[in-house]
Amino acid sequence: MTDPRSTTRRDAIKLGLLAGAGLAVGRRVPLLGEMPTRAQEILTRPIPGTDERLPVVGVGTNQWGARGEEEIAPLREIVRSMTEHGARFIDTARIYGRGRAEEVIGQILRELDAHDDVFIATKVPTPETRDAGVVSLEACMTALGVDRVAALRVHFLDGVEILLPILREWKEAGRARYIGVTTMSEEQYPELERLIREESLDTIEIDYSVLDRAVAERILPLAADHGLSVVVARPFAGRRGGVFSLVGDRPLPDFASEIGATSWAQLCLKYIIANPAVTVVIPGTDDPEHMIDNMGAGRGELPDADLRRRIEGIFDELGG
């Protein structure tokens, strides 16, 4: 049952932060047309084999090593605006933010009383032993301030034989609804394919962008065939040398308006979301304004095959 006191506190926190949101965001007030409204819900995709649906845009937190209120405030604003506009997926890992990210997320969720509004997916690094794996998993939960999360994944594939059995036990015990693996390395794709075929995974996380399309050919169709949800990381091809350094200050192509894309970020995210095997895309950001921009990619039209080829053509010409 909901504690009426906590509801009051929760509303007060949300209203207070909402009132301060313009100041907290600060850098540019989004134009009225850019502001998501409830009438323009973010597109959702089903998690295969379940009744659960996920809004297609989430957030990646590998930079969330914030210390002190000044650094935490924009991250809190990101989570607040996600919950305000219906986005839910927060991707994290034991090692993100130099080991701080889970703790930062835990603090923010406590402050916003928002644990029930988000979908937390974390990752555990390869342990030397089974005991070390369990210690790592418990450390994730303690840092996040929870006793269960939505998804637990093996971070990188080495040592998967130690961790996967533990993740299965944790799923059995109700401490995670979904388990899986993540990799960003093309060299590991053959092993990833084997795991998708042979292990009963629920989810994978891979890198996919208009600049890195390797997974589109085999991994994405295979994941779809096996009923796995797919989380797309590094949608801008990473923090350095990614799509933004290629496009610079070039104007958007005219066709962007046909699909309601008002920024290069939205165009690149829509390119990814248009692949039906994709469940959720998790652009990394610590900028609330960028979060608003990214959520915009989950609204309006998506590019068809012809437009997707034209988007690829632009980046091929730019030398991506």
Ligand X SMILES: NC(=O)c1ccc[n+]([C@@H]2O[C@H](COP(=O)([O-])OP(=O)(O)OC[C@H]3O[C@@H](n4cnc5c(N)ncnc54)[C@H](OP(=O)(O)O)[C@@H]3O)[C@@H](O)[C@H]2O)c1
Q: By CB under 6 A, which span of 56-64, 72-80, 107-115, 271-279 interacts with ligand X? A: 56-64
Closest CA to 200 of 157, 162, 167: 167
Which residue of 234, 270, 299, 308 would you call a contact of ligand X, by CB under 6 A?
Answer: 234
Closest CA to 59 of 143, 140, 118: 118
Site for ligand X in 198-217 (CB under 6 A): 205
By Cβ distance, which residue is nearest to ligand X? 284
| Token digits of residue 222 | 């295979």
Q: Which is nearer to ligand X, 86 or 283 (CB)?
A: 283
Amino acid (one-letter) located at 139 = A
Q: Which is nearer to ligand X, 113 or 287 (CB)?
A: 287
Cα 158 to chain centroid distance, Å, stands at 22
| Token digits of residue 214 | 């390797």
Which residue of 28, 110, 197, 239 would you call a contact of ligand X, by CB under 6 A?
Answer: 239
Please tell me whether residue 182 binds ligand X under the rule CB under 6 A.
yes
Q: Which is nearer to ligand X, 13 or 101 (CB)?
A: 101
Please tell me whether residue 62 binds ligand X under the rule CB under 6 A.
yes
- The residues pairing with 180 across neighbouring beta strands, listed in sequence order, are 153, 203
Which residue of 61, 107, 122, 229 would you call a contact of ligand X, by CB under 6 A?
Answer: 61
Is residue 231 a contact partner of residue 282, using CB atoms and an 8 Å limit?
A: yes
Q: Which is nearer to ligand X, 235 or 303 (CB)?
A: 235
Rounded CA-CA distance 243/247 in Å is 6
Please tell me whether residue 233 binds ligand X under the rule CB under 6 A.
yes
Within 13 Å and on the Cβ side, how many CA atoms surround 282? 24
Site for ligand X in 278-297 (CB under 6 A): 282-287, 290, 293-294
**Torsional sign, CA 54, 56, 60, 66:** negative
Q: Which is nearer to ligand X, 106 or 283 (CB)?
A: 283
Is residue 93 a contact partner of residue 101, using CB atoms and an 8 Å limit?
A: yes
**Interface with ligand X by CB under 6 A: which residues?**
60-63, 91, 155, 182, 184, 205, 233-239, 242, 244, 265, 282-287, 290, 293-294
